[in-house]
Amino acid sequence: MSYRSRKTQAIINLSALKNNYDKIAGLAPLSKTIAVIKANAYGHGAIEIAKSLHSLVPAFAVAFIDEAMVLRNAGITLPMLILEGPLDKEDFELAKQHDFWLMLHNSEQISWLNQQQPTYNEKLWLKIDTGMNRLGFSPEDAEQVIANLTDEQKKELVLCSHFSNADEINNPKTPAQISCFKVIADKYSCQLSMANSAGIINWPESHTNFNRLGIALYGTNPSTTIKNMPVKLTPVMTLQSTVIALRELNIAECVGYGETWQAKQASVIATVAIGYADGYPRHAQSGTPVFINNQLAPIAGRVSMDMLTVDVTNIANVKIGDLVELWGENLNVETVAEHINTINYELLTRVSARVPKVYINE
């Protein structure tokens, strides 16, 4: 029997998802915009997200083959780009069977490719390191790799790179990366891919054959320096819970583990049914906002495993059962992230499996 007494849940708005895709893809109309749904679609549920976008996108991208196989087993048939490429030589056989596009970025992967018999002719991506210094071949090494590919492999080859600072509009690193990439790209007739979410929005010169749309797809700003986005995005996830208890405190009384919050006046504290076991960060400080009864209210004291406490002294008529939004439609996840000294990516992806997802189309 399925029964839920606790009302903590993540509302996933699939209409917002599709609208966000259309708006961001519209900024680069000459590109094919791949939807990145790694890490369980940034915490939104990869299978449902893929089903919702299936008719809109040319392909999906995931981190590794395990994620792609979950989607294939769920009936998702579009091509899938494997961003970390093959992590074992057996991955090439799976890629052939399931229409996976492998992104190659190191010499061992090239060695595995050369061991494939008969010749491996599936679509390949080759990653060029233009300054991220994480994955990829140097431009010089990439030229040697390309030279050793077969004509058939070169025909479908996509050259790609990844930005380190595309979210910072005034940072000179991104133009330098674009220039570095174009030096090698201009030598070949391959298809190209550079732009992530921030690249699509901030750097039109990075728009190429394929763009890779990640965080902005889910309705949150990928940039730390752009406050007024060129398109209005709608948050896809609204994380919410309810008030399960109310306490009246006298001056100097404390709340929670370690007594880190002390009442400076007669106060009302609401206990909310969500905690770090649900993915809400334990290190969220007092003062981090939540949204309740159309107002912002600050967290008071430490986040517990299953609960957190909120100072609702200045909010009238709070009662047990009232909805509390941790982030979403009324409280941007990036605002919460700033208070917690983290990023929107981390908050979305760390929502735990015990928080049910409810999918809506509104």
Q: For 132-184, how does the pLDDT look when each residue is reduced to its tens digit (9 = 90+)?
A: 999 999 999 999 999 999 999 999 999 999 999 999 989 999 999 999 999 99
State the average pLDDT over residues 48-76.
Answer: 98
Bridge partner list, 101: 81
Does residue 304 register a pLDDT over 80?
A: yes
Higher pLDDT, 97 or 362: 97
Q: What is the mean pLDDT of the chain?
A: 96
Predicted model pTM:
0.96
Residue 139 CA to residue 136 CA, distance in Å, equals 9
pLDDT tens by residue, 85-128: 999 999 999 999 999 999 999 999 999 999 987 789 999 999 99
Nearest Cα to 224, choosing from 342, 63, 93, 78? Answer: 342
> 245 pLDDT exceeds 70?
yes
Whole-number percent of the chain with pLDDT over 70 = 99
Question: Both tokens of residue 210?
Answer: 């394929």
The C-alpha atoms of residue 105 and residue 126 are separated, in whole angstroms, by 6
pLDDT at 101: 98
Question: Pick from 279, 277, 274: which is nearest to 299 by CA?
Answer: 274
pLDDT at 271 over 90: yes
The predicted structure's pLDDT at residue 1: 64
> Which residues are catalytically annotated?
38, 257
pLDDT for 269 beyond 80: yes
Nearest one of 166, 220, 154, 224 to 196, comparing CA atoms: 166
Give the model's pLDDT for residue 224: 73
Mean pLDDT of 188-197: 96
Helix (H) or strand (E) holding 270: strand 267-272
Supply the pLDDT for residue 49. 98
